[in-house]
Chain A
Amino acid sequence: MSTAWQFYISTVLVYLGVDVIACWGLNLQFGVAGLVNFAFIVFQAAGAYTAAVLTLGPAVPAARGGFQQYVGGAHLPFPLPILAAGLVGGLLAALVGGIAVRRLRSDYEAMVMLVVSLIATSVATNQVGLVNGPNGLSLVPKPLATIVNLSPIGYQWLFVGITAGICVCVYWLVHVVTSSPFGRALRAVRDNEQAAAALGKNVTGLRLLAFVLGGVLAGISGAVLVEFISAWSPGSWLYPETFVYFTAVIVGGSGNNLGVMVGALLVPVAFLEATRFIPQFGPPGLIDALQWIVVGALALVFLWFWPRGVIPERRRRFPRPAPAEAEPAPPVRAAP
C-alpha cells in the first residue's frame, strides 16, 4: 500500500474512532435516556479545547512573540489531557444539565440546548482571551511524538492504536450502562417519566447522570480529535455538526451500541468521505451545501420509515430455567 493511502486510511480510522466515541456518548443521552441534547458538539469542543490547552503549555504573551492566547495552559503528559477533557465535558454537562435537564420537558430542553450551542460558539469566538477566538488553537503537540521515534506513517498507525484502545475502554463503559439494570431504569425513564418516578426511580438523578456520562464521552472524543489534527477553532464545532451525530445515531439504531457504531461509520465517515471523490461541479461550496441537505434528509427518511435504525435496540430476553431446574408442578390432589 502506498504511503499516501496509508495516511488516508489511518486518518479515516482515527476520525471513525472519534465519531464512534461521540455517537456512543450521544446514544447514552438520546437513545437510552431520551435526552435531546442539541448542544452535544459543545461538550466535544470543551474537551478538545481542554486537551489542547493542557498539551500546549502556558500561553506566551503576544509581546514575546506568542501568537495565540488562552487560559490555563499546561504541559501535561499524554493520557492526562484526554482524561481532563472527559472531566471537563462531564462537569460542563453537570452544570448545563443541572439547569436544563432538571427542570424542563424534553421539547423545551431541546430548544435550550440549541441556544446553549449558539451562545457557546459566540463566546468562544468573541472572548479572544479564552481560547484564541475565531482563529482557534493550533500547533498542538502530538502525544508521545517526542518519546517514540517513529516515521510519520508509523506515528499515524500508533495513533490509530491509541484511538482503538480508548474506544475499547469507552465501549466497556457504555456496555456496562446499557446492559445493566441501571440502563433499564434509564430506558424506563425515557419511555415514561411519571411511571418511572411512581415506581421509585429518581428521574432527575438518572437523567442527569446519563447527561454527564454523555458529556464525558463527548469531551474525550474532542480530545482525541484535537490531539490528532493539532488544531481546533469555532468553525469546527458549529451547531449543525450536532445533527450529523444525531443522524448517525438515528440511522445506526438509537439505543443499540453496535448500531450506533455502524451509524458512525455510515454517516460522518463513509458519507462525508465519499463526497471527496465526487468530481467538483457547480459553484464552489455547492457540494458542501448539498452534503448538509442530504444529512438532514437522511435523518428525516429514517425517522419516517425506519425509526429504529439499521440495527435496532436489542429486545432483552431472559433465559428460562432448564426443565430440570424448573419448579415441579404442584401435586394434583387425589380425589377422596
Chain B
Amino acid sequence: MSGASGPLVAVRDLHRRFGGVHAVNGASFEVPAGRITGLIGPNGAGKSTVLNIVAGALRPSAGTVRYRGQDVTGLPAHKLARRGIIRTFQISSEFAALTVLENLLVAAQGLRGERLWQAALGKRYWRPAERAAVQRARQLLARFDMSAKEDEYAGNLSGGQKRLLEIMRGLMAEPALLLLDEPMAGVNPSLARRIEQYLLEECAAGLSMLMIEHELAVVERLCDPVIVMAQGRVISQGTMADVRADQGVLDAYLIG
C-alpha cells in the first residue's frame, strides 16, 4: 500500500459552507497510523463537520482528503467504509428492530449472501461465512461483557449499552481507521473508563483512531497527537502538553 510510512489521512485546506455559515474554513491536519488522534475545540468549531467529511457523509465545498496516499475527497460513505474508514455516531444509531448480534453481523464487511444473487444461491452458499461472523461477533460481545444481550433488540438497550454497541459495531467492521464522535457522551463514569480501556487496547493492537471528545482529561489519557479546532480552522496541534501551553487555544476556549 502506498503511503504506508506517511500519515493515514491527510486533510488539506478543507472548506465547508452551510448556506452563509462557514463551518469549516481551511482546516488542514494529518492523522498518523497506529495512534488515537484527538479532535477537540469549543462548540461550533467544525469538528463534527470535519469528521463527517472524512467519513464521506458530507462533501467538502473545497479542499482534499487523502487516505493512504489516495485522493478520496467526496467518495460516498459506503465506499469509504469498504476501504476501511468506519465511523460511529454521536447520537446512538443502532438498528432498533435488529438484535444486538444482528447489528454486529450487519457491520461485518464483504459478508457472503449480502448481495441478492449470493442470497439466491441458497443457505449452503452463505451459511459458513455467516457462522464465522457470528463467532467473531460473540467474541466481541464477550469482551465487552454484553453476551447476555445477544438476542435483545438493540432498540431496547440502555443508553450506555447502545454506546458500547456503537463501538462494537465499528470494531466488527475491522476498520483501518475508526472515527469516533464523542464515544463516551452521556455515559456513566465507570462505563466511560471501560470504554477508554477498550480503546487503548484496540490502539495497542494497531487500530488507528480519530476521536472527537470534550472531556480534556480523557483526551489527555488517550490521545496523541491532539488537534484543536476553533471557528472552522485548526489552531493548534501536538501533544496535549503542547496544546495546553498554546495561548491561542486558551483564548479560543475562553472566548469561544
> CB within 8 Å of B: which residues of A?
176-177, 179-185, 187-188, 190-192, 194-203, 209, 255, 313, 315-318, 321
Contacts and interface: CB of A to CB of B under 8 A. Distances in A.
Interface in B20-55: 55
21 contacts: A182-B113, A195-B94, A195-B95, A196-B95, A197-B57, A197-B76, A198-B55, A198-B87, A199-B107, A199-B173, A200-B81, A200-B82, A200-B173, A201-B106, A203-B78, A315-B99, A315-B153, A316-B101, A317-B151, A318-B101, A321-B135
B111 A201 contact: no
A182 B120 CA distance: 10
A149 B87 CA distance: 65
Given A181-B130, A187-B97, A199-B86, 20 more contacts: A176-B119, A180-B114, A180-B118, A180-B126, A181-B111, A181-B119, A182-B116, A182-B118, A191-B96, A192-B95, A195-B93, A198-B78, A198-B87, A198-B93, A199-B78, A200-B82, A200-B173, A313-B97, A316-B99, A316-B101
A179 B113 CA distance: 10
Interface string B77-111: 11001100011010001111111011101110101
Contacts of A315: 99, 151, 153
B113 A188 contact: no
B57 to A, nearest CB: 7
A268 B82 CA distance: 44
Q: Which 10 A-B pairs have the closest CB atoms?
A: A180-B119, A200-B81, A195-B93, A181-B113, A191-B95, A182-B119, A197-B77, A188-B106, A181-B114, A200-B82
A242 B126 CA distance: 35
B4 to A, nearest CB: 23
B115 interface: yes
B134 interface: yes
A200 B97 CA distance: 19
B89 A195 contact: yes
Contacts of B99: 315-317
B95 A188 contact: yes
B102 A184 contact: yes
B226 to A, nearest CB: 24
Most chain B beta-carbon neighbours within 10 Å: one of A183, A192, A195, A255: A195
A255 B153 CA distance: 15
B136 interface: no
A321 B132 CA distance: 12
A315 B82 CA distance: 28
A199 B169 contact: yes
Given A185-B106, A198-B89, A180 B81 contact: no
A179 B130 CA distance: 12
Nearest to B112: A181
Contacts of B57: 194, 197-198
A195 B135 CA distance: 23
Contacts of B76: 197
B93 A192 contact: yes
B181 to A, nearest CB: 10
A209 B114 CA distance: 12
A318 B173 CA distance: 19
A328 to B, nearest CB: 14
